[in-house]
Amino acid sequence: MLVPMRAILEAADQHRYGQAAFNMNSVGQIEAAIRIHELLRSGAILQGAEASNAYMSGAQDFMHGTIEQKQAGAKVIGDAVKKYGADSIVPVALHLDHGKSLESVKACIDGGYTSVMIDGSSLPYEDNVALTREVVKYAHPYGVTVEGELGVLAGVEDHVFSATSTYTNPMQAVDFFKKTGCDALAISYGTCHGANKGKDTKIRREIAIATKECMMHEGISGFLVSHGSSTVPQEYVQQINAMGGDLQNAFGIDVNQLVDVTRCGINKINVDTDIRLACTRNLMELFIGSPELQESETVGAIWKAMRANPKNFDPRNYLWSIMPTITTGEVPNADVQKVVNCMKDGVTESIAPLLVQFGSYRKSHLIEAVTCEQMAERYKKAGI
């Protein structure tokens, strides 16, 4: 069933395990992601970024999508999650990743999202508080979970650009929760957006510990989120480069560090790059192993786009020739089916180990089956 993200995070927090959250960029990926969560009996948090919403509307310049395109794409993603998740045996939440404005938040809630993030981390503190509080006031009457962000991560991911990072102040995090009423908070504690995190990136776990301790001392019922936490498996990078890719300095967060912080107060761990790499690796293997597909009328353009930019590993930049399949899940022929299967397999391979390692597998029964309507009543009674 579809639930507000808060229900999934409450279980993770209470039972001290980590819940991974995965960014989705096609109907097929959504289907595969929900399926592997079902097989492993894990609650599911699927995410759509602002750029992903624009992309799923069919916008080629999705990094600069209009609000109308984001509205259309949010509904496409929302409808797909409802199709595969509404009757699922595991709780499923759909979350906006790095929303930048109230308009984007409204578009996602209208499209069926059960959770939203508003990222005001680049703003002065009081402006960040004001924007987040405004989103909370809008979203909570719908029973929709709200995540904020405090501190600035380094790196690049969709609309998130920063050359330097600013660590989160635990005491300021407490103040932020109190003033905004948000449910969850993404903190800056050493992770980094994108695939170029640095070979020996070290998480400052003490920031997560101190923040959670301060929250508990003040009686704050909130949850901490780790952004920029893709593990960037080195076998993916090596395999892509061996087939003609050109990925340099591509390193992630050591998975053992992420497992560790799930015991230090981090409840949600965002992963995006791993899925992109797995799908790209699979597609390169497909085209090299079946060279006739390189000249296919329907999928040959995918191979040409991949070869034209060996540094690129984001499937959104080379799948334009099958965009109707990306946005509807409908497969017109066998060649496209092979591509879709590669994408689904990439999702499954990259997600499954993390569900086990972070500890959410076989935990879906611990998550309360609460609807957004029921959660809205709880917020109303609590005055938030």
Cα–Cα dist 319/55, whole Å: 11
Partners of 268 in the β-ladder = 19, 225
DSSP annotation of 92 reads E
Residue written as tokens 């592997």?
36
| Alpha helices, DSSP H, located in the chain | 5-15, 27-39, 50-55, 67-85, 102-111, 125-139, 170-180, 205-217, 234-242, 255-261, 273-289, 300-308, 323-328, 334-358, 372-382
Q: How far is CA 362 from the centre of its chain?
A: 21
Q: How far is CA 208 from the centre of its chain?
A: 20
**175 classed as catalytic:** no
Q: What are phi and psi of 187, to 5 degrees?
A: -110, 155
Catalytic-labelled residue, pool 13, 87, 97, 158: 97
**DSSP labels, 241-266:** HHTT----S-B---HHHHHHHTTTTE
Q: How many residues does the chain have?
A: 384
Inter-helix orientation angle 67-85/27-39, to 10° = 40
Cα–Cα dist 357/345, whole Å: 19
CB of 114 within 8 A of CB of 2? Answer: yes
Q: What are phi and psi of 65, to 5 degrees?
A: -65, 150
Tokens of 363: 């935990």
Task: List CB contacts of 162: < 8 A, sequence separation 6 or more.
Answer: 122, 152, 153, 154, 155, 156, 193
Tokens of 164: 């330097």
Cα–Cα dist 286/222, whole Å: 44
List residues with catalytic annotation: 97
